[in-house]
Structure 1
Amino acid sequence: MLRKGSIIGLFLIIALVLSACAGGASESGGKKSSNDTLVVVDWGGAITEARKKSIFEPFEKEFGVKIQVESPTDYGKFKAMVEGGNVTWDVVNVGNLWGAQAIDQDLFEPIDYDIVNKENVKTELAKEFYVGAEMYSTAISYSTEQFSENDHPTTWADFWDVEKYPGARGLWKMPYEAMEVALLADGVKPEELYPLDIDRAFKSLEKLKAKTEIVWWDAGAQPVELLSSGTVTVSTAWNGRITTAKNDGAPVDIEYNQALLNSESWSVPKGAKNKELAMEFINFATKAEVQAEFSKSIDYSPVNEKAIELLPEDVKNRLGQSPELAEKQVLVNEEFWAENFDEVNERFQEWLLKQ
């Protein structure tokens, strides 16, 4: 699922329709000409394939338009198009951290909430310039050859406890998320996490490093490989990687308690030629029914809270979106990282060189 090393490469990861309701959202009645083409930019691979059946094709049918999909999202190209005044993209799926940074660069059209119904969209994901498309969790993941469903690390403090749960640990090689889990492991309450105490986070990482080996991963497939091979016994991982591998028979499982919730969003580049139709697409793509169909086909969670009610219980549990699992997760604050990423990342990279 996701992405690395610099702010631009941070999210390779990881949507969907609303008709009428409160807030003056538009009816999806005004169909467009069949000659219209909407250019939607997505990450490609499995997530785009899942969207084709659950979002793109139904939208084409309802609005009488053609969706032209381009992939992957390219932040440099996005910026160059807008600044050069030659925008050929209409809707782009972007990582929220990049989105929060790009606002100051004046790269987006504001979301038209007279068209986009945000009534049931998670409040934190209905922003002025982008709207959540899907969510995913960074969660404690463990080897089932080492630990059982009834006896495995269930908190980040447990993750740090190598006496009770021995073995090397896997962490994403980015300060984003590493700082959060280090603080949670050190006893910071989720509701008091932001603004992050960076000094305390590094001290917490030092404590873990002194007790066991930290294996730093930088690609989404690696935690499954590290856990399956026994290189580490516990790792951070993106939930879809673990649930898919588990279904395929890999000796891995996931713990959603204290998992970090991240999201990607739909945005409209400033100067997009089909701005109104782009807003109709975002409205459609965030509809409860459409979001539910998307989440049934791939392990990303809906941003529309009504969509969760439409999911079968086994899917809710697999996504960590049953009520008891969802309330235990922590939403990452991308505004904090948009302001502080460069400074913290510089310090993080220097810290890694000393290891």
Structure 2
Amino acid sequence: MSNSTFKPKNTISRRSMLKITGAALVAPMIWVKNSEAAQERVVIRSPGGAYDDIRKKLIYEPFTKETGIRVIPVATTTAKLHAMIRSGNIELDIIDNDDSVLLQWADELAALDYAHFKYTDPADILPEYKHDNYVGNFVYADVMGYNTGKFNSASVPANWVDFWDYKKIPGTRALADVDTGGPNLEFALLADGVPMDKLYPLDLPRAFKALSRIKPGISKFWTSGALSVQMLSTGDADVSSVWSTRILKGMESGAPLAINWNQHSVHVQAYAALKKAKNLENAQKLIDFCLSKEVQSKFSSLWNSGPVTETAYKALTPELREKIPGGDRTREHGFLLDANWWAKNRNEVGKEWAKWSLNS
């Protein structure tokens, strides 16, 4: 209450007394909030949900106990991130997102201070995931998933050429929609005979021509990881592209699902600190902490994802290595998605997809 509106009287009415006591009750809460604001902090963009639940116990709370720095995860969309960065009103310190998404803001990302890492040996980070201004967090894969009521390991399409041949190998198919951020253009090109090591730069006309060939055999282009697993579990799709982390959770829940790892694509979830971050030093410390061997290996077991450091991968049990991308499996049967290509061409892909959807 300001001095301009408060007029002292000799007597205090019941309404005035309620206002005063109410203010006294609110004051301690304001003090708590102000004290929290004064605490060292770091604000990180996060996917949210179960992901944050795991990371709160595994990373954020131990990091706060170790450093005194409070971690504030904020779940937000790519569109909101883009608007924030464009406005220059930076409220986040770290972005935790797909590397191909991060790279669209490459000029806004701070150099990572590997030289002062305390919890992680920078030399332990696998070179394909280590970059000047961003670094891998974990890896997952786009795989061929199938319903075991329809296929088994011998009868499922052996590769994407077979997947495309829905007349020779009957069964309902599904693929990713453009709304997922990345339709399965690589798989379309593999189905058209392009070798895994010759995919990039992607030949868009050839990829969409291949998609037109399989479109009659597609029951639905899925728009979320949850939907892809649901379709496979219920039999609405017998075989589909699907994110490895999603289908593995379904398998753990008892759904009749399995994975064909041949010709899988590896995606990198990555960290980057923003140049204009208000807590840049704290951001560097949290990224360092997140890449430690203990965090990397434990998170892999909880999220069914691949670690980005060599020692963490070696620390995994043989059983866990069988469930995740990385190591010899990816070297022999998979490829790394080209994040730079997608960062530069995602808008063009969206335009081509819109035209293709209308005309094919």
TM over 0.5: yes
Q: How does 1:134-173 map to 2 (within 5 A)?
A: 134-173=138-177
Tell me: CA distance 1:79–1:353, structure 2 relative to 1, closer, same or farther (3 Å).
closer
Partners in 1 of 2:165 and 2:322 — Cα distance? Answer: 26
- Partner deviation per Cα, 1:89-129 (whole Å, 9 max, x = no partner): 222212212211111xx322222222344322232322222
Instruction: Report SS of the residue matched to 1:201.
Output: helix
1:247 to 252, 272, 280: 252
* Mapped pair 1:303 → 2:308: yes
**Letter of the 1:291 counterpart:** Q
Could you give the per-residue CA deviations for residues 26-77 of structure 1, whole angstroms, max 9, x where no partner exists?
Answer: xxxxxxxx9422222211111111212222222222223222222x134444
Match of 2:182 in 1: 176
| C-alpha deviation, 1:301, in angstroms | 1.6
Checking the alignment, whether the CA contact within 8 Å between 1:136 and 1:300 is kept in structure 2 is yes
Offset at residue 223 of structure 1 (A) = 1.6
SS of 2:249 mapped into structure 1: helix
Aligned length: 318
Relative to total residues, which structure has the larger helix share, 1 or 2? 2
Q: Which of 330, 339, 342 is the matching residue for 2:335?
A: 330
TM-fit CA distance, 1:161? 2.3
Gaps of 5+ in 2: 1-37
Q: Specify the alignment match of 2:69 in structure 1.
A: 65
Residue 95 of structure 2 corresponds to 92
Q: Deviations over 1:266-288 (max 9, x none)?
A: 11122212212211211111122
Pick aligned residue for 2:319 from 304, 314, 317: 314
Query: What is the percentage of aligned positions where both structures have the same residue?
Result: 34
Give the Å deviation of 1:177: 4.2
Q: Secondary structure at the match of 1:114?
A: helix
Q: Tell me which residue corresponds to 1:197.
A: 203
- Paired position in structure 1 for 2:220: 215
Which blocks of at least 5 consecutive residues in structure 1 are unaligned?
1-33
Q: Is the 8 A contact 1:171 1:215 kept in 2?
A: yes
Residue 339 of structure 1 corresponds to 344
- Select 1:268's aligned residue among 241, 248, 273: 273
Instruction: Report the CA distance between 1:180 and its aligned residue.
Output: 0.3
The one of 122, 126, 135 aligned to 1:122: 126
- Measured in 2, the distance between the counterparts of 1:81 and 1:285 equals 25
Query: What SS class does the counterpart of residue 108 from structure 2 fall into?
Result: coil
Is the 1:140–1:154 contact (alpha carbons within 8 Å) kept by the matching residues of 2?
no
Please list, as runs of the form range in 1=range in 2, the aligned pairs for 1:44-55 lying within 5 A after superposition. Answer: 44-55=48-59
Question: Does structure 1 conserve the Cα–Cα contact (< 8 Å) formed by 2:266 and 2:325?
Answer: no
| TM score, norm. by length of structure 1 | 0.83
Q: CA deviation at 1:263?
A: 1.5
Which of residues 175, 185, 194 in structure 1 aligns to 2:191?
A: 185
Moved more, 79-88 or 334-343: 79-88
1: CA distance, partners of 2:127 / 2:159? 26
Deviations 1:296-352 (A, max 9, x none): 111222122321111111111111346335531211101111222212221111111
Q: Contact between 1:82 and 1:269, CA under 8 Å: does it hold in 2?
A: no
User: Could you tell me whether the CA contact under 8 Å between 2:95 and 2:102 is conserved in 1?
Assistant: no
Higher-Rg structure is: 2
Alignment partners' CA distance in 2, 1:231 and 1:263: 29
